[in-house]
């Protein structure tokens, strides 16, 4: 009994060894912990790895390009006539209002009762006679100008008829045809202006004779001198409406033809040097559909104008004529605001790149080309631009994809991915 009790402890497992797990289970637990640790490290490495930058791309391709100079402008009546008092005297009230129609030689604008000269000296009579002679010479000059305008119109119409009837393809370019057509139209307008000038000269001669008659026949004082409209048109502005005593040369009212409009635009001198007479002009933002016009004259002298920001600018007046007087354009009047876009350069087929893909680096234009998920830097020789597209002279070829507005994080060799547009 005692031997059995003494032998029992030799075969019994100690308590602490009974709780030890089997060796196979411990190895599995270590393997699981190792896999978890590797996974965490992989996730951290993946999170720290630079991701491709999302970008938008554009395509380099051939297409038309038109370069414009845009500026605000205003309409104005081509020929304006200011009617002034021919003699000193008491003028009656002007009953005409701006917008009233007048007819040359028939509409009475106002009446003036001349003031009698207190002394009929030879000097006053000589001065009045000189004014009559000057008005007669001005009428003769206006007659010669009218004849020259008629001759020029006849020649321009003959040339235009010859070109217009020449239907053989390739014998003359479209530009030359437009030039001959515009020349004929301009000569017709010059003839019209010369006719108006002759009417004004005759009116001034009649007024000068009336003043001389008043000096030579003072007994006829008390009679009113009627001032008639020198040209047909409408009253633009009444400068002296009330009855008053006027001196010779006092402006009374202004007359013009509202259908004979031109456009004046004050263009910066650096842009005006690229504008040529005959250039196409698009007239916009006037209250109707865009209308076409042609540059008639670029004035040779500039003037200084202070901008809204207080900057002194040198500007040049550019005058343009409407190509066609449509019914809608009749709503335009004198000094109406418009916006003009003058074509200074045009190409029907040139290599173009979106302007947003180019950026300056020093004195060079650069862009990033999308190349198999990589951003590849490229130096570009750029030409003209319209603000949206830019002409490519060197550095790119048709079909290249370029990065649009690349962020600062994009460098040469950066991984990029095209941004997917949300639907």
Per-residue pLDDT tens over the stretch 339-358 = 999 999 999 999 999 998 99
Position 1 confidence tier, pLDDT thresholds 50, 70, 90: very low
pLDDT at 15: 58
The sign of the torsion formed by the CA atoms of 159, 164, 165, 167 equals positive
In the chain, where does the domain assigned CATH 2.40.420.20 lie?
A: 54-65+348-418
Q: Report the pLDDT value the prediction gives residue 124, as an integer from 0 to 100.
A: 72
Overall CATH class of domain 85-255: mainly alpha
**What is the reported pLDDT for 141?**
83
Partners of residue 233 on adjacent β-strands? 102
CB 233 within 8 A of CB 255: yes
Rounded distance between C-alpha atoms, residue 344 and residue 282, angstroms: 12
Choice among 39-48, 179-188, 237-246, 257-266 with the minimum mean pLDDT: 39-48
- CATH 1.10.287 in the chain, residue ranges: 85-255
Find out whether 390 and 58 touch, Cβ atoms under 8 Å. no
CATH number of the domain located at residue range(s) 54-65+348-418 in this protein: 2.40.420.20
Query: Among residues of the chain, what percentage have pLDDT more than 90?
Result: 36
Give the sign of the dihedral formed by CA 312, CA 317, CA 318, CA 324.
positive
Supply 350's token pair. 């040139």
CB-based contacts of 304: which residues, under 8 Å, 6+ apart?
312, 313, 314, 315
pLDDT confidence tier of residue 76, bands split at 50, 70 and 90? very high
pLDDT of residue 313: 93
- Averaged pLDDT, 376-388: 90
Q: Looking at 27-41, 272-286, 312-326, which range is the least confident one?
A: 27-41
Rounded Cα distance between 285 and 337, Å, is: 8
pLDDT value at 285 more than 50: yes
pLDDT in tens, 183-232: 878 888 888 888 888 888 887 888 777 777 655 555 454 578 889 998 88
Instruction: Outline which parts of the chain fall under CATH 2.40.30.170.
Output: 67-74+259-346
Residue 119 is predicted with a pLDDT of 47
Whole-number pLDDT of residue 421: 52
Residue 279 has pLDDT above 90, yes or no: yes
Q: What local confidence, expressed as pLDDT, does residue 88 receive?
A: 86
- Model confidence pLDDT, tens digit, residues 240-253: 999 999 998 899 99
| pLDDT at residue 214, as a whole number | 58
pLDDT surpassing 70 at residue 398: yes
pLDDT score, position 32 = 77
Report the distance separating Cα 202 and Cα 149, nearest Å.
Answer: 18
pLDDT value, residue 184: 79
User: Does this model's pTM top 0.75?
Assistant: no
Of 114-123, 158-167, 373-382, the least confident: 114-123
Task: Name the band, by pLDDT with cuts 50, 70 and 90, for residue 2.
Answer: very low
**Closest to 278 measured CA to CA, from 337, 344, 340:** 344
Please calculate the CA angle 336-341-345 and round it to the nearest 5 degrees.
155
CATH of domain 67-74+259-346: 2.40.30.170
Averaged pLDDT for residues 371-383: 88
């Amino acid at each position: 009994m005692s031997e059995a009790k003494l032998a029992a402890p030799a075969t019994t497992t100690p308590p602490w060894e009974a709780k030890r797990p089997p060796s196979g289970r411990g190895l599995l637990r270590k393997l699981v912990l190792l896999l978890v640790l590797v996974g965490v490290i992989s996730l951290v490495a993946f999170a720290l790895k630079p991701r491709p930058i999302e970008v938008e791309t554009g395509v380099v391709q051939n297409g038309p390009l038109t370069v414009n100079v845009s500026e605000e402008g205003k309409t104005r009546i081509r020929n304006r006539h200011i009617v002034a008092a021919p003699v000193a005297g008491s003028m009656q009230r002007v009953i005409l209002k701006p917008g009233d129609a007048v007819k040359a030689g028939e509409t009475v604008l106002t009446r003036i009762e001349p003031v009698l000269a207190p002394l009929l000296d030879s000097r006053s009579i000589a001065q009045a006679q000189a004014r009559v002679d000057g008005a007669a010479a001005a009428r003769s000059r206006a007659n010669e100008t009218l004849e020259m305008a008629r001759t020029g119109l006849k020649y321009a119409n003959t040339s235009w008829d010859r070109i217009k009837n020449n239907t053989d393809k390739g014998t003359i370019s479209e530009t030359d045809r437009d030039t001959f057509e515009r020349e004929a139209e301009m000569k017709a307008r010059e003839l019209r202006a010369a006719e108006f000038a002759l009417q004004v000269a005759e009116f001034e001669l009649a007024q000068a004779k009336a003043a001389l008659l008043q000096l030579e026949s003072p007994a006829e004082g008390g009679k009113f001198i009627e001032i008639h409209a020198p040209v047909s048109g409408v009253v633009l502005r009444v400068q002296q409406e009330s009855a008053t005593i006027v001196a010779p040369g006092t402006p009374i009212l202004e007359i013009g033809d509202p259908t004979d409009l031109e456009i004046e635009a004050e263009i910066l001198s650096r842009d005006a040097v690229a504008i040529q007479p005959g250039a196409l002009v698009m007239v916009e933002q006037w209250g109707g559909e865009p209308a076409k016009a042609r540059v008639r004259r670029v004035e040779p002298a500039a003037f200084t104008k202070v901008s809204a920001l207080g900057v002194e600018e040198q500007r040049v007046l550019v005058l343009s004529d409407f190509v066609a007087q449509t019914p809608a354009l009749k709503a335009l009047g004198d000094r109406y605001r418009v916006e003009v876009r003058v074509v200074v350069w045009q190409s029907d087929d040139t290599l173009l790149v979106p302007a947003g893909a180019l950026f300056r680096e020093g004195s060079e234009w650069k862009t990033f080309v999308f190349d198999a998920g990589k951003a590849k830097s490229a130096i570009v020789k750029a030409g003209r631009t319209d603000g949206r597209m830019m002409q490519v002279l060197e550095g790119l070829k048709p079909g290249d994809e370029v990065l649009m507005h690349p962020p600062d994080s994009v460098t040469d060799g950066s991984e990029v991915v095209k941004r997917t547009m949300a639907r």
